[in-house]
Chains A and B, each alone.
Chain A
Amino acid sequence: MLVSSSQRGVTTIGVLGVGLLLLSSQALALPRYGPIEISGNVSAQQLFRHKDIDNWAFIQQRNTFKLRFDYDMLDRGKLFNRFEVPFIQQAKLLLFYRGVYDSVYDYTPGFKQKDIWGNVAALPDDEGNLVPVKLGSFNWGANTKFENRLREAYIDLKLRDLPLSFRLGRQQIVWGETDNFRMLDRVNALDLTWHLQQESWDEQRIPYWMIKGLWDVGRVGPLSDAFVEFYWNPGDWYPAKKTFLPQPWSAPVTNPIVQISKDFKGIGDLWNGTKLFRQGDYSRTPGENSQVGLRFSSMTPQGVQFTLNYFWQRWAGGDDGTNAASIQGVLDATNQEIKARGQLPIEAIAPHVHAVGLSFNYAEEEYTQTVYRAETIYEFGVPFVDASKQFPDTGPNSNLYGILGQDVFGVSKRDMWKGMIAFDRPTWIRPLNRKTTFLILGQFFWHYLISNPQVACNDPDDSLPCPLSGQGKGFRGNFSSSGYASDGKRFIDNVRDWEILVTLAATTFYSGGKIVPFWIYVLDPVNSFNMELIWMCDYFITNNFILNLQQRYFVNTTREPVFETWGVGGTNRGRSETTLRLTYQF
């Protein structure tokens, strides 16, 4: 039954695709038909994971169809070129559809994966014995294999008599200066099940139904090009979407809730009906789930373009590399309550967080011919797992809370300061390319956790990772202490005061833009110098047919687990991969 629905999906996408290709073949140069523009692409991405040269697996065969529809519905005050509409000067409609089928969920038997501690990914069976799991161990539903979604649907309205415009509908909003790092780019959480952070975030942000406005201020004293941009998400918000092993792009752990639920005799639901990576203890109403943001942008007479930003949002769950909490223990839950509710004393959380930020860019032409970018943000009240907030009667031998006591704690909130400084420099390297410059891009990121408590064991005479007495105090990261490496060694994922990441990238053009290579190097100097090396190349076989080849290598300098949360070599140990993607665009 599943196979037949898969086939139906593929057939539908195929028919749509062929129809549009035929349509587009008549107007390859200009995809416009009066006030309507139709454009898009179809692509097939093959992905091979290679832990080493002899050990590889075919882990993705994703077929994607994108269709974009632009409609100039109101111009010069006339709707559909006929009806006079007061107050509005221009209105445009954009619809963007993405349909996806990943055939790998239908035919692969799966492949062996290890968790971050080096153990083979496993889940308990009905008797509580750990059984290795592979992709083929599950009957994946259509929601995993398919996507059939109007990703974006909005109307742009420009008012006639006020310097004000709106974008109303399902959309993405991106502020800030970073390339693929989350700081001021925080309006839309990421869907990290798509391909972790390995692809353009344009593909991975979760679009929400929102109202965005832009007020053209013009000039403010010596400042030019000033505007105020604001948004309101009236409740259509979800936290970052993550998943667990054995899915290929998951946190490198199996679902701890499944494991805990076995210990609790099948109780799998979270407290208050919350859902991990999906829903905290609030309703999806404007009253409880609203998010707002505001920024002022302008340029100084010296040519520095800057923005001042404010956000009031729910915490998305650490899709920005913060080792923050997504769940908290309900520490005051009683044994009786748990049985009556049939819910684990664990709650998915997404508290509101205030954030203020600043960004700027400046092109220094005289001495360095370089564009400098910077961005910084201060967050108030980020939630962290706090080992000092423990279930009562916690201890290795406690019947009720035994398993929870080692893994689940309460939450404490702290402020964080995060920032980035970056440069973009077009540079001639004529021995490598006589025709075009290399654009060299460097970024330096930091996270600083303010008032991070010291880590300690319950018994002051015990030492980390507290094998005798259990954990006493201090913040814990996402990979908490119950994990054991394959050699039985125990580790604690401490939350560090400072986290740092450095990226260096370069790109250029060859053969008149036909060949576009890109190189990226990512280094996390704080966590055992784990790193990532990427090269990718777009080859335009024709204007409409593109071949993309890329390889990513995740590198660790130690055999021990590396608890980094940027998603570099530690999280992705053993996940080096090669991608081959073919795209036809119209």
Chain B
Amino acid sequence: MKRLLLLALALLSAAMASADVQPGEEITKANFDKARDLVSPGVAWCVEHGMAMKIVPTKKVEWPRAYREATEAHGGQVRLSADGMELENYVAGMPFPNIDVNDPDAARKIMWNYQYKPLITDDVLMRDFQVPSGPLTYTEPMVPDRDFVIGDLRRLYYNGRLFVDPKPALPNPDGIRYKELLAPVVSPYDMKGVGALYNRYVSAARQDDSWLYVPVLRRLRRMSTAQRSDALFGQDTDQDSYWGFSGHIAWSDWKLLGVKEVLGVVHRENYRAQRCPGGADFAYCDNWEKRKAYVVEGVSKLPQYAYGKRVLYVDTEAWVTLYSDIYDKRGELWKVWLEFFSFRKQAFPGSQLTYEDEMGFTSAAMIDTQLAHATVIMIPGPSSPDPETWYFNKGPQAKSPYASGNTEDVLSVKHLIEAGH
């Protein structure tokens, strides 16, 4: 009996070994069974429809020094409020550096860590990036029905700041967590000049404020938070899905499904996004490596929310979402958000900007598996004029042809009105 048991274990481990992937391999639809257990159902859908994964050795993602020091200094003092909706005593760094998966609050703590992740602590600017959106044939390259060029995407954090004065917080009587400005849309012409501004508040008691500048009306429209999960202008992405998840942590119920070894992209090879060839150009074909991820399920509490649930794969080291599977109200896979990170100190060899720490440059894609439609976010894209494109923690120096710095002055209603045509 004991011998039989040993034999069964040996067979099982052999089978597991054969299902594993090795650096140097390329995973395609043909040999995908080897990797099936290492990805989400959404990523599996992508591989089965043509995306290829080049497997590379796992490399460590280093936190910025200032973030590490802030976590050491303040990490132990943070508490969840009684209702779990807010953080208490937070200053900077990671709120809960030690996650116990058996803690009943583990899922929420993971998501609060995700909210205050090391990726961007002060501000970020992405310039002139391209966002084609179109139907999928799986055999021919996508012919975009909408091909957007976004002038600027800016985010300015008000607390947890580590690099740009004032630190660790901007004067903040309104309790703002961050402001985000997406403006202007440069192309196509019918959308030219559209801009959006979002205010996220520290307190969960206050919903986001959102505005949209509509050039054809020449005025700002106030938006409802319910529209954060709605596909903007009909393409596939929604505000809450940016970066894998950008909703307010407190407005979802979270459940930790487990900690899992998965494949993810955190060291993308090509800085200027290289889409997969042919009909798989809904995603990028680049370097995937084994990562350890928290698998967290989120169900929104908002009645008008578009989705039934999200399942996020949050990297335990970089604290970014590697990918997110999004399900409809019937529980069927609807959309997949893929992140293609590249943590490095320089965007590309020869870049004029060198950071002291590794920064998380990324491009992304969102695929609607039910509609067979995808939106690809290329930062930078093939036509992006500024090769740098990304500006991390540059504050007033984060300038573009459209606005003069990541400052409160620019991320404001006033700026949208001032710049609106």
Contacts and interface: CB of A to CB of B under 8 A. Distances in A.
B83 interface: no
B189 A41 contact: yes
Contacts of B368: 435, 512
A491 B373 CA distance: 59
A303 B209 contact: yes
Contacts of B4: none
A542 B189 CA distance: 13
Contact of B224 (A32, A90, A425, A511): A425
Nearest to A586: B189
B235 interface: yes
How many chain B residues sit at the interface, stated as a range, is 35 or more
A37 interface: yes
A365 B192 contact: no
A224 B190 CA distance: 32
Interface stretch (B226-234, B311-319, B350-358): B226-234
Nearest to A508: B234
Nearest to B414: A227
Contacts of B233: 509, 513
B189 A369 contact: no
Interface stretch (A172-180, A451-459, A562-570): A172-180
Contacts of A194: none
A427 B303 CA distance: 10
B187 A39 contact: yes
A543 to B, nearest CB: 4
Contact of A543 (B186, B188, B207, B421): B188
Interface string A396-438: 0000000000000000000000000000111110100011110
A214 B418 contact: yes
Contact of A512 (B134, B188, B192): B134
How many chain A residues sit at the interface, stated as a range, is 35 or more
B253 interface: no
A514 interface: yes
A97 interface: no
B399 A512 contact: no
Given A435-B371, A513-B145, A76 B399 contact: yes
Contact of A32 (B186, B219, B371, B418): B186
Contact of B304 (A94, A174, A369, A424): A369
Given A156-B419, A176-B219, A512-B133, A30 B230 contact: no
Interface in A499-552: 509-514, 516, 540, 542-544, 546
A297 interface: yes
Contact of B222 (A185, A362, A511, A585): A362
Contacts of B2: none
A56 B373 CA distance: 41
B186 A31 contact: yes
B206 interface: yes
B186 A37 contact: yes
Interface in B167-219: 173-174, 186-190, 192, 206-207, 209-210, 215-219
A217 B277 CA distance: 52
A202 interface: yes
B420 to A, nearest CB: 9
A4 B346 CA distance: 62
A76 to B, nearest CB: 7
B65 interface: no
A129 interface: no
Contacts of A185: 219
B145 A514 contact: yes
Contacts of B222: 305, 361-363, 371, 373, 424
B144 A543 contact: yes
Contacts of B188: 543-544, 585
A467 interface: no
B143 interface: yes
B333 to A, nearest CB: 14
Nearest to B146: A513
B224 A424 contact: yes
Interface string B271-303: 000000000000000000000000000000011
B321 interface: no
Nearest to B128: A30
A177 B218 CA distance: 11
B217 A30 contact: no
Interface in B92-144: 128, 130, 133-135, 143-144
Most A Cβ at <10 Å: residue of B135, B149, B189, B225: B189
A229 B417 contact: yes
Most B Cβ at <10 Å: residue of A156, A219, A225, A546: A225
Contacts, number: 193
B70 interface: no
A426 B226 contact: yes
Interface in A285-329: 297, 299, 301, 303, 305
A72 interface: yes
A78 to B, nearest CB: 12
A515 to B, nearest CB: 8
Interface in A81-126: 89-90, 94
Contacts of A510: 234
Contacts of A424: 221-222, 224
B152 interface: no
A214 B417 CA distance: 9
Contacts of A476: none
Contacts of A90: 404
Contacts of B231: 435-436, 509, 512-513
A216 interface: yes
A522 B174 CA distance: 40
B383 interface: yes
B174 A363 contact: no
A30 B417 contact: no
Contacts of A436: 230-231, 234
B224 A426 contact: yes
A200 interface: yes
B365 to A, nearest CB: 14
A437 B215 contact: no
Interface string B224-259: 111100110111100000000000000000000000
A532 B349 CA distance: 62
B217 A179 contact: yes
Contact of A371 (B224, B329, B383): B224
Interface in B306-359: 306, 328-329
A156 B189 CA distance: 21
Contacts of A177: 219
A493 interface: no
Given A435-B371, A512-B146, 18 more contacts: A28-B147, A29-B187, A31-B186, A32-B401, A89-B404, A176-B219, A202-B216, A214-B417, A214-B418, A299-B413, A365-B302, A371-B222, A435-B368, A436-B230, A512-B135, A512-B145, A513-B146, A585-B188
23 contacts: A29-B147, A68-B189, A202-B215, A224-B174, A299-B209, A363-B224, A365-B224, A369-B304, A370-B224, A424-B222, A426-B230, A428-B304, A436-B231, A437-B226, A437-B306, A511-B145, A512-B236, A512-B368, A512-B371, A512-B375, A514-B146, A543-B146, A543-B188
Name the 5 nearest CB pairs between A and B, nearest first.
Answer: A513-B234, A509-B234, A585-B189, A174-B218, A361-B222
